[in-house]
Structure 1
């Protein structure tokens, strides 16, 4: 379908969905502590999205058929699922998990680092964001990785404006992270977003200056760098079909925002109250 330039009405719906996704991350932080399982965190987020926000967690049954699934008042599917799909309402990626980690019953431990990735559908439009959390105190190495990954996202966001090219943005992320001794995951990238979870364009976190799609006012997309402490290579958990891990078992971090290209710059649709842009 090509890149979708959003209308003012669509943008307003995306602002609402983006704000709701940010609120989930603001809400969940106090629940992240030693002994809590990621499955418990998933249940809390699901209840919040469905019952408090009146939204739908976009990852739930994603990739299955039919999708999205209608939920009843208890938050359960109202029809039989024929294709399964992703089984949870958030992604929880712990330590060496790069992305798409499935919430489970394993208790979190002191020093664990955790990415929570949330996408809320509201009135047919998506807000997609993720944040790194730490259980207790991080090691100095983990703290530096998390900060570097966040800084790489913020540097990229500052570059977003009409006329900028995605190759420049990807190069800036890559140069900054690799300059700190880290590596950029190349198999997964940011993406256009709107009425569909994943739209054009693809937004890689590496690139060549002066190349790639030229940004235009009204475009909406995510930037979500995945940065590894070791080498960039990843592997899949073949048992669950979703979880992506670092091949060398090194730590990985990720931060994500949904962005709108405005007439003179960028609006961060998933901005949290703790952030200033």
Structure 2
């Protein structure tokens, strides 16, 4: 069932979104060559503690996962697309890093992701990230009453395809609110004018994921969580939680 949020509920979700934005900013500032991924997870945990928030990710176990997620961030480096589990590995010069993070305040969730490089960036990685960000911005513009889910999917997919990037099938955005993952699912590729109409109060997590190699296929790592590009190419993932309102899109995780 698709749940529409009241203005008061959107305010509550904005509070969770502010924690998400603060944590992602803190993690990005801490990320540098030689820093362990587990250290970045600790940075995010400290933001949660300081804001009186709970993690949306810790111990989360969707149907596909063999075990509960053991961290508060997803840290996906280079050929990892999403769902990377932070470990003791250290960031290397030129790494492309995607950090996904969710926070829960008073039962309301916020979810967002950023991608960035550490050290000396490969220009191709910079373009990949900028293209994902452009796709996110284009998709957000579609979150107005009367548009369709397909308009969002088309906005993401058309930009990714024009750049020659791959888009992982079966993974995309989702509704968000009292649960981190709610109906509806939001594909990252599709035809405009199709699907459910967008109505005020609908909140969606929009999350473009692009593979530089152009192959849509992915593989799941031994941990049952991490998604890798099959060709070893790098991937970028960006995300915001956004509400449809009569006045236009309202980004809750800005």
Scaled by the length of structure 1, what TM-score is found? 0.88
Aligned pairs for 1:1-277 (under 5 A) are 2-49=1-48, 51-63=49-61, 84-230=67-213, 231-237=215-221, 239-271=222-254
User: Quick one: structure 1 residues 233 and 11, their matched pair in 2 at CA, closer, same or farther if it must change by over 3 Å?
Assistant: same
Q: After TM superposition, where is structure 1 displaced by more than 2 Å over at least 4 residues in a row?
A: none
C-alpha deviation, 1:256, in angstroms: 0.1
User: Quick check: 115-124 or 167-176, which moved more?
Assistant: 167-176
Displacement, 1:264? 2.8
Q: CA deviation at 1:217?
A: 0.2
Indicate if the aligned counterparts of 1:161 and 1:263 stay in contact, CA closer than 8 A.
Answer: yes
Given that 1:162 and 1:264 are in contact with CA atoms closer than 8 Å, whether structure 2 keeps it comes out as no
Q: Once the 2 structures are TM-superposed, how far is the Cα of residue 7 of structure 1 from its aligned partner?
A: 1.8
SS for the counterpart of 2:13 is helix
The runs of 5 or more residues in structure 2 that have no matched partner are none
Larger Rg: 1
CA–CA separation in structure 1 for the residues paired with 2:10 and 2:75: 28
Aligned length: 250
The alpha-carbon deviation at position 84 of structure 1 amounts to: 5.0
Q: Give 1:141 shift.
A: 0.9
Aligned equivalents of 1:160, 1:7: Cα separation in 2:
16
